[in-house]
Amino acid sequence: MSENLEQAVQEICQAYENDRGRLMDIVRAVQERFACVSGEALDRIAKHVGVHRVEVEGVVSFYAFLSKQPKGKVVIRVSNCVPCMMNGAERVAKAFAEELGIAIGETTDDGRITLEWTPCIGMCDQSPAAIINDQVFTYLSSDRARRIIQELRAQETPDPAKLVHKLGDGSNASDEIHSMVHNNVRQEGPVVFGPWTTGEALAKAVAMTPQEVIREVKTARLRGRGGAGFPTGMKWDFTRQAPGTDKYVLCNADEGEPGTFKDRVILTERAGLLFEGMTIAGYAIGAKAGILYLRAEYAYLRAHLEAVLRQRREAGLLGKRVCGKEGFDFDIRIQMGAGAYICGEETALISSCEGLRGDPKNRPPFPAQKGYRDQPTTVNNVETFCCVSRIIEHGSGWFSQMGSAGSPGVKLLSISGDVSRPGVYSLPFGITLAKVLERAGAEDPIAVQVGGPSGQMVGKDDFARTICYDDLATGGSVIVFGAQRDLLQAVAEFMEFFIEESCGYCTPCRVGNVLLAERLEKIRAGKGTPGDLEYLEQLGTMVKTASRCGLGQTSPNPILTTLKNFRSLYEEKVTEPVDGLQPAFDFSAAVADAESLAGRKSVHV
């Protein structure tokens, strides 16, 4: 067994040139082979790659899909994101567990199958959903869950791919993807899903100077489509001007904000458009290399993406002398993630690409100055790159005349929850939330989470507000809650998500979120006081102010925005202490141990 491990580790490390910067790929490959990265494997990897064992352990222990302890050859991960839970994810998980004869979080006695919860996998419009190894399973029910286990068990060698019997729409039915996932594009719109001609934008770009390309993107006033909304042209300008010989274009395909799944559809149907945008970026900033950081939950798309890259190389759209342009070489590789929402933060994404723990970096310097491997780097969202391609193809005027003055263009929204038409919608910025709800078929909405848990939960009073960067901002996620929903339950689940996903580097986020969740739980259990509401506001503000990165700066939002917009939900649950006694304090329970030790009852009644 040890010889087998040494042989395998040596081969794997060599395949990545014993490069410490490729540690993510190395540990992923070892996990794939041995269902874990054991202590022995840590030693051997450290030896081959030239780092200390504890550094490798640091990486393995950071990512949810890697483990020091062995998992089953088959890992079933059931999504527990709010839209999935709204549609019955708990019943599905329970059915899996009962059929397997284990609890969630455990592995079967024969060591073959592990069952776990996992946060949002980007399938909110077709929930409940799960991933089994790399395969995605959608529209699950308890019946289907049981049948899946029965089929898995009947297989000689477990092969989740063989469990896919009905294929989805569009390219989901292709040989490379071969998945039951559906695109559910309800409104194609003119930009990302509009008809396009491969290579046309790129040819136009290389006929301009890099500065002209940047000027066009600036004139279009394109802002980042991942959620933060930084002006793309400005970001590229900074990166272009920064001193450095090896610049990088990074695409953020980590799409982890719960309720967001529009990038998943772009990767499925418009991968070429995305790669074209990355190549144009490379030309504009003077980079030779691009990296697509793909979340592990979208591994089922990898073969398809590699195929599209191959096609583009064959067509001269990637590689040496791109589009025949002398001096412009550019190629793209795919970097897989391993289960960490924080790696959607641009500097954490860079850390992960560098084979490190997905901790965000200290700023300054910003990635435009010092990013991947300390080189000038631009990190942009999948949808942003697609918009660039279309802007170069059709001109900045075509793009900026759509949308609103402060937020030009259109936005892809991924709408899920209590709507009759969940899916992806291309809608102009400036559209009201009310109109969005109408389009998606919301029956009797009482609340909408705009922008995922990092965003805000708004009620009917705010439905007249608009989707744009300066009002109701979102990277795409729109989760709709009908009248029957327990909103504080959703808030509690959002807090659980942030606690699970915090990198833990800084005090306010690592500790503060746990404290916020504790107090919310106390309130929900009917043991809160009015003072607890003030406590939540003060603590939440403290966490927002002092946290080091966007996660901690937004994680209190589910609580703070519902305190603002749904205060009565909290107020009706809290009681003023009577006679100065805290409702959370149960005197009898507190003295129970002492009573049993002393052998008599306390006289406190």
Contact present, 191 and 399 (Cβ < 8 Å) = yes
* Helix (H/G/I), strand (E/B), else coil: 521: helix
Give the interface segment with other proteins, choosing from 46-54, 70-78, 115-123, 178-186 (CB under 8 A).
46-54
* Binding region for other proteins (CB under 8 A) out of 26-34, 58-66, 231-239, 418-426: 58-66
**Which DSSP letter does residue 319 get?**
B
| Helix locations, 35-75, DSSP H | 39-49, 53-60
Distance CA 539, CA 284 (A): 44
Contact assessment for residue 433 and residue 466, using Cβ atoms and an 8 Å cutoff: yes
**HEC secondary structure over 350-395:** HHHHCCCCCCCCCCCCCCCCCCHHHCCEEEEEHHHHHHHHHHHHHC
Query: Closest approach of Cβ 61 to other proteins, in Å?
Result: 4
Residue whose CB is less far from other proteins, 201 or 523: 523
Residues present in the chain in total: 605
Query: Which two structure tokens, joined as six digits, stand for 94?
Result: 């329970």
Place of tokens 């019943």: 91
Residue 511 CB, nearest distance to other proteins (Å)?
4
Residue 195's alpha-carbon distances to 67, 269, 279, 313, 409, in angstroms, are 44, 11, 19, 22, 17
Candidate list 243, 327, 364, 580; residue touching other proteins; CB under 8 A: 364
Minimum CB separation of residue 383 from other proteins in Å reads 28
Give least dist CB 21 to other proteins, A: 17
Q: Residue from 58, 170, 406, 482 that binds other proteins (CB under 8 A)?
A: 58
556 prior amide bond cis, ω within 30: no
Pairing of strands 135-137, 445-450: unpaired
Q: Report, in Å, the least distance between residue 57 CB and other proteins.
A: 5
Distance CA 415, CA 370 (A): 36
Please tell me whether residue 62 binds other proteins under the rule CB under 8 A: yes
Using CB under 8 A as the binding rule, whether residue 505 contacts other proteins is answered as: yes
Taking Cα atoms as reference points, which of 38, 79, 74, 34 lies closest to residue 56? 38
Taking CB under 8 A as the criterion, which residues in 409-438 touch other proteins?
none
Supply the DSSP symbol for 600: S
Place of tokens 């100077």: 209
Both tokens of 493, joined, read 């689940």
Q: Name which of 268 and 547 has its Cβ closer to other proteins.
A: 547
Check binding of 33 to other proteins (CB under 8 A): no
Q: Do the strands 113-118 and 74-79 form a parallel or antiparallel pair, or are they unpaired? A: parallel
Q: Give the shortest CB-368-to-other proteins separation in angstroms.
A: 16
Which of 503, 520, 523, 559 is close enough to bind other proteins by CB under 8 A?
A: 503
Among 24, 28, 31, 57, binds other proteins (CB under 8 A): 57
* Total of residues contacting other proteins (CB under 8 A): 39
459 scored as a contact of other proteins (CB under 8 A): no
Please, what is the minimum distance in Å from the beta carbon of residue 163 to other proteins? 31
Task: In angstroms, give the least distance from the CB of 518 to other proteins.
Answer: 6
Query: CB under 8 A: which stretch of 271-279, 443-451, 497-505, 566-574 binds other proteins?
Result: 497-505
Scanning the structure block, which residue is given the tokens 């925005």?
561
Q: Give the residue with the Cβ less far from other proteins, 437 or 543.
A: 543
234 binds other proteins (CB under 8 A): no
Site map 532..561 versus other proteins, x via CB under 8 A: ---x--xx--x--xxxx-------------
510 binds other proteins (CB under 8 A): yes
Query: Which is nearer to other proteins, 344 or 417 (by Cβ)?
Result: 344
What's the CA gap between 475 and 490, in Å, rounded?
A: 19
> Hey, what are 473's tokens?
């901002």
- The binding site for other proteins (CB under 8 A) comprises 39, 52-55, 57-58, 61-63, 340, 357, 362-364, 499-508, 510-512, 514-515, 518, 535, 538-539, 542, 545-548
